Structure 1
Amino acid sequence: MPNNDMSFVTQDDHGFNPPTNDLRIHGRPFGLEKAYDYEAGGHHPVHLGDLLHQRYKVLHKLGSGGYANVWLCRDTSSTDPRYVALKIIMAEGSTPNCPELRIYKLIELGLGQESAAEHFCLPLDRFDIDGPNGIHYVFVYPVLGPRVSRVFNVIKLEDPGIPLRELCFQTTLAMAVLHKYGICHGDFRPANILLRLSGLDGLNEEELFAIFGPPQTAQVLKHSGEAHDMPTAPQYVVYPIDWDDVASSAAGSNLIQNKACITDFGECFEISTPTLDLGIPQVYLSPEYCLERKKLPEPWWSETWTARKRYFQDDTDSNGLVVAADNTKENGRTGYGDGDIADIPRVVIDQSYPRSLQAAIAEGLFYEYKNSIEGVERSIPQKEIAIFADLLSKLLRYSPSERISPSEALEHEWFQLEKSDG
């Protein structure tokens, strides 16, 4: 249904690239694909109610992007209501080198037979669409819920510590399984870890829309504001499902499970042939990749660094942390006018920030809830602080050879904590 919010801005108004096909989207641009992607090589135009592959009826949208759109569809071949997610790849990306095809290698290796298979989003079907913008690969997947980072907004948690630990265990288990097959995911981050749904199949369409809400749309118009008749573009685009709104109802909240599911294997590669060409954002890179697998700078304790005493004391403090050198007259150094000493920058260690994992964790966690301006702050039990810090320290070692593996991490004490301890 059309979105009647008159506080519209167009994609052009928001500084987006001008369309090359003379089309623009009349509506809030957030969460939508771009109008200029509806041309040769781009997205396949889809309307609500379309029947794809003579089987899948389009009901709603699950997500949009510059690579694909994902649609919520009903599988009409099933007697009882059954729902699936259709990921339609842009035509220019629908080639034999399509990253989405990499998942099939994992299936051939036996990933689908693993006891942890429920933690991977594996395709149910695949077909092609020959449309006005080219040939598109279409992958049929199970319908999944929001990304794991939204767990606080979509699952009612009195104590988030326990379910968070469960999600961490599940994702670590999934990574361990991938590594067993000699595969690195390459883009392992919250955006690619979704929560599973339960109880969706069996609902009729009316019940489905009662939970997800009716689809909201925005018109696709010519740049002049007139309607278009181009077969390469839809008459409107659809806003994705808002999972926070879905979870606000009891029925919607009950659909969303505390079960992690790994998606998007487009960056995966064989561990035996690592690559520097990764698409994962830097904040999620493993430590050695942040420096392009080069050596770390000289550490403060290095004996080969002859000038280290100018900056740091030989001994650490009682917590094993580095102490800045005191370049003052007490040490025979004024810091000013003593030849080369004058050029030595004074090292100031900022004490306002935590200087260890233990200190950072001890500050607690702050969760932002959609319906709370102030959010919720939760302290971490004292017993858990040292245990969790120990796990992180072993996971964050710079050298991969010194880092514990996912399988070893699963045996760590933090994952063995009893519920009463969390």
Structure 2
Amino acid sequence: MSTDRPLYEHIDDVERLDYYRRGGYHPIQIGDRFQERYRIVHKLGYGSYSTIWLARDERMAKYVAIKVGTADYGPKEAETLSRISASMVESREFSSNLLPLVLDRFNVDGPNGTHPCLVTPPARCSLADAAQGPFPLHIARSLSAQLAMAVAYIHKLGYVHGDLHMGNVLLQLPGLDLDRLSTKQLYDTFDSPDPEPVIRVDKQPLTSPGVPLYVYSPIWLREPGDEILLPEAKVLLADFGTAFCPTQESRFESYTPLQIRPPEARFEPTVSLSYASDIWSLGCMIWAILGVRPFLDTWLFGPDDATADQVDALGQMPDEWWETWEGRSKRFIANGTPKEGREVWTFNGRFEDAIQAPRRRRGTEVMCEEERDALFEMIRGMLVFRPRDRLSASQVLGTQWMRKWAIPEAETTWGRKLLCDSRSSRCL
């Protein structure tokens, strides 16, 4: 008897259907209820280890987000975020507003196993979804400052996030009072769930209770990046599934996308990652928020491409790394010296191509030379090959670019003074 799992016809903008298996996703349908209080009304998103749903908390008469993990995912994220959330409740620091508050957590048993569930306030969308071209410069500055504050805050609590990328930074819901909307009004204001039937490639009927009859695309709660108003540009740093406390455990593998993965994950594989690994990814993300693409080339086909691009932009890598890099001779004649005739995308060229030129084409504000120089100084302090030589998160907040350009825009977003002490990252 064949033990091959059935194949399903492809459906755009939904989770992988073959993950509906033992240990995988929990099958959820619109109208399902959890804990006798949470009624599922729409899909918010999905990832490799979870699906995220918009639910009506009928006990509290408000909408919530429920992240339902795969059965083999385990409770670690819920435990980590719950500890962070407890610190947030007691904190007077502004940065605690930039992380999701845990409202409830529970497990749900289903045909694919036991699934951890995390309840938080709903958000609008990720920065990856919101960025339809460059953000207006004042918006990008505010988003960058808030993200740096969020990273500084979790570092102060003793955690490395471990998976910083644009898809894990969410925009908070704007002033619209979502809770006042009935389910019908919610659908009229945004859109209704559009059930797509799950169909096997071999056209056989669905027989496993672990596979849903229908799947759903996420609700559209977002606007293009150039339509976001400054008071609405409030972020939430989400997805703590790979977060860890470096004083209590070691982590050797980086889960961030290749374009923003810290180089020590490749060249120091026996040394545990540290807070500095977040700083590298944060620097790449700030660049992407300010521009239309990551700092590194988007056409990376493997680790050698990433390493070559890093050396092209930043110069020589540590000699001991260079000596162990087997792919160096394909692109370089010496450490930091490219082969003759090979086109090199320089730091300045990346800035012009990703940040300035797209703004000129749209007729929007570009950076002046003073701001550009301050940004370069900060980014170069974050994208340093050796982790120990990078700026800390609190030092990033103390840079000239943050203090003169980015933090003031974040203060306008929140309508309050954010007193940031670069030595402690304390923002009230």
TM-score w.r.t. length of structure 1: 0.70
Residues 25, 69 of structure 2: 8 Å contact kept: yes
State how far apart, in whole Å, the 2-side matches of 1:418 and 1:41 are: 47
State how far apart, in whole Å, the 2-side matches of 1:36 and 1:185 are: 28
Go from structure 1 to structure 2 and tell me whether the alpha carbon gap of 1:170 and 1:386 turns closer, same or farther (over 3 Å shift). Answer: same
The Cα of 1:412 is off from its aligned counterpart by 1.2
Alignment of 1:87-106 (within 5 A): 87-94=67-74, 98-106=76-84
Aligned position for 2:258: 282
Aligned position for 1:127: 106
Larger Rg over CA atoms: 1
Go from structure 1 to structure 2 and tell me whether the alpha carbon gap of 1:227 and 1:362 turns closer, same or farther (over 3 Å shift). Answer: closer
Residues 365, 377 of structure 1: 8 Å contact kept: no
Is 1:348 matched with 2:358? no
Alignment of 1:389-408 (within 5 A): 389-408=376-395
Residues 59, 72 of structure 1: 8 Å contact kept: yes
Aligned position for 2:128: 149
Go from structure 1 to structure 2 and tell me whether the alpha carbon gap of 1:205 and 1:255 turns closer, same or farther (over 3 Å shift). Answer: farther
Go from structure 1 to structure 2 and tell me whether the alpha carbon gap of 1:205 and 1:194 turns closer, same or farther (over 3 Å shift). Answer: same
Q: SS in structure 2 opposite 1:170?
A: helix
Amino acid at match of 1:292: E
Q: Of 168, 177, 186, which residue of structure 1 is paired with 2:144? A: 168
State how far apart, in whole Å, the 1-side matches of 2:321 and 2:5 are: 55
Alignment of 1:319-358 (within 5 A): 347-348=339-340, 350=342, 353-355=344-346, 357-358=347-348
State how far apart, in whole Å, the 2-side matches of 1:221 and 1:206 are: 29
Render the CA deviation track for 1:104-152: whole Å, top value 9, x for unaligned. Answer: 3334555762431111123210112122222221111111122123444
The Cα of 1:236 is off from its aligned counterpart by 0.7
Is 1:236 matched with 2:228? no
Aligned position for 2:401: 414
Alignment of 1:44-59 (within 5 A): 44-59=26-41
Greater mean deviation of Cα atoms: 384-393 or 126-135:
126-135
Amino acid at match of 2:403: Q
Residues 22, 113 of structure 2: 8 Å contact kept: yes
Unaligned runs of 5+ residues in structure 1 are: 1-17, 301-310, 313-321, 325-345
Is 1:257 matched with 2:232? yes
Is 1:221 matched with 2:199? yes
State how far apart, in whole Å, the 2-side matches of 1:236 and 1:255 are: 38
Go from structure 1 to structure 2 and tell me whether the alpha carbon gap of 1:49 and 1:41 turns closer, same or farther (over 3 Å shift). Answer: same
Q: SS in structure 1 opposite 2:199?
A: strand
- Using CA pairs under 8 Å that are at least 6 residues apart, name the structure with larger relative contact order, 1 or 2: 2
TM-score w.r.t. length of structure 2: 0.70
Q: Of 115, 119, 128, which residue of structure 2 is paired with 1:136? A: 115
Is 1:387 matched with 2:374? yes
The Cα of 1:226 is off from its aligned counterpart by 5.1
Structure that is richer in helix per residue = 2
Is 1:297 matched with 2:284? no
Greater mean deviation of Cα atoms: 270-279 or 254-263:
254-263
Number of aligned residue pairs? 345
The Cα of 1:353 is off from its aligned counterpart by 4.0
The Cα of 1:173 is off from its aligned counterpart by 0.7
Render the CA deviation track for 1:147-191: whole Å, top value 9, x for unaligned. Answer: 12344439xx8x711111111111111111112122111111211
Amino acid at match of 1:166: S
Residues 362, 379 of structure 1: 8 Å contact kept: no
Q: SS in structure 1 opposite 2:56?
A: strand
